[in-house]
Amino acid sequence: MTKFIQLHLLTAFPAGNLNRDDVGAPKTVVFGGATRLRISSQSLKRAWRTSDIVEKEVGDFLGTRTVRAGTEAANVMIKNGADQDSAIKFGEQVANQLGKAKKENKTKEKESPFIRTETEQLVHLSPRELDNIAELAKRKASGHEVTDKDLAAILTSENMAVDIAMFGRMLASSPKENVEAACQVAHAIGVSASVVEDDFFTAVDDLKQLSNEDAGAGHLGETAFGSAIFYSYICIDYELLLKNLNGDEELARKAVRAFAQAAMEVPPTGKQNSFATRAYASWVLAEKGEAQPRSLAAAFCRPIYGENMLSDAIERVETFRDNMNSVYGQTIPSKSFNVLTNSGSMESVLNFITE
């Protein structure tokens, strides 16, 4: 395999609210002087790493993002016969090893003392690291000493989780255990200008309707939504991924294949029960080689309008890619599929990027 794997996708999402901002409206961005719908990279990565596709292929090598690693340590101690106070104290030690333990808020009534076993920030841990925590907790519960050196050995690069290897992690308390992300994911943006709309809805009270006393709605509400064809871009540094996974090429290939398929098939979960905004990618271009990676988002700097937006978007981005390669004198090996013309296949693209 070669150094860089790039994926370009066009996915048409109908009415929905896949990724909300602080007021509950779909996220947006101004690009080319027009407001576009946007799906954040964080939202996309979360959807992929928790998908059934990734779970099936590399589930035993997926990490856990949590503030409660210390809480789990305390629970393991209690299950193994330790008293609550000593368990909480040890859980706090674990939390401080992984980051900074939370402090109890004396003004809050009924706040659990286990709050001290949580970290201030999310910590991404591999299965091996979670096992290390559990083993230390059992040792502590049995009366054996757990030293600072033992706690420092919780974090390890051995048997690294594929999602940590792909998307990286930063630990301010243990910078030597930081992992540089091998996969970069752009925010998906609409290829056209979009307007965020509001849906006013009512809900009927079934029993009230039966009583004939009041014909009014049982609930009134409003939710924001929008629709767009999204351009998505992903870049994977395969050499760095292989390094992060300690040279395990079979696992690296599985990870690339699983996450690429998830990117094609799995949308974020936001408001799915309200809108069922399910869609597969309609067009995918995969590229690989040593050439410096580049997004093709500039193909949509001028918003697309009209009745054939999807076919126009495909033509626009393919032309832009060809022109880019011509101007820079590049020949980048590629493979694609196009649902509109029934050309290519997902399987051929996945085989191409992992062969």
Q: What is the pLDDT of residues 40-84, one digit of tens each?
A: 999 999 999 999 999 999 999 999 999 999 999 999 999 999 999
The verdict on residue 92 lying in a domain is yes
pLDDT at 212: 66
Q: Are 276 and 331 within one domain?
A: yes
Which of 35-39, 170-174, 269-273, 301-305 comes out lowest in average pLDDT?
170-174
The verdict on residue 213 lying in a domain is no
Q: Are 126 and 185 within one domain?
A: no
Q: Are 322 and 190 within one domain?
A: yes
Q: How far apart are CA 293 and CA 234, in angstroms?
A: 10
Structural domain boundaries enclosing 115? 65-160
Contact between residue 232 and residue 1 where contact means Cβ atoms under 8 Å apart: no
pTM of the model: 0.92
Which residues partner with 230 through β-bridges? 11, 190
Q: Are 142 and 262 within one domain?
A: no
Q: Which residue is associated with the tokens 């292989």?
A: 242
Q: Are 186 and 303 within one domain?
A: yes
Q: Are 155 and 273 within one domain?
A: no
CA separation, residue 147 to residues 12, 60, 144, 154 (Å): 55, 29, 10, 11
Q: Are 283 and 190 within one domain?
A: yes
pLDDT in tens, 240-274: 999 999 999 999 999 999 999 999 999 999 999 99
Please give the tally of structural domains in the chain. 2
The verdict on residue 109 lying in a domain is yes
Contact between residue 191 and residue 300 where contact means Cβ atoms under 8 Å apart: yes
Tell whether the model's pLDDT for residue 108 goes beyond 90: no
Which residues partner with 283 through β-bridges? 10, 338
The verdict on residue 220 lying in a domain is no
Which residues partner with 233 through β-bridges? 8
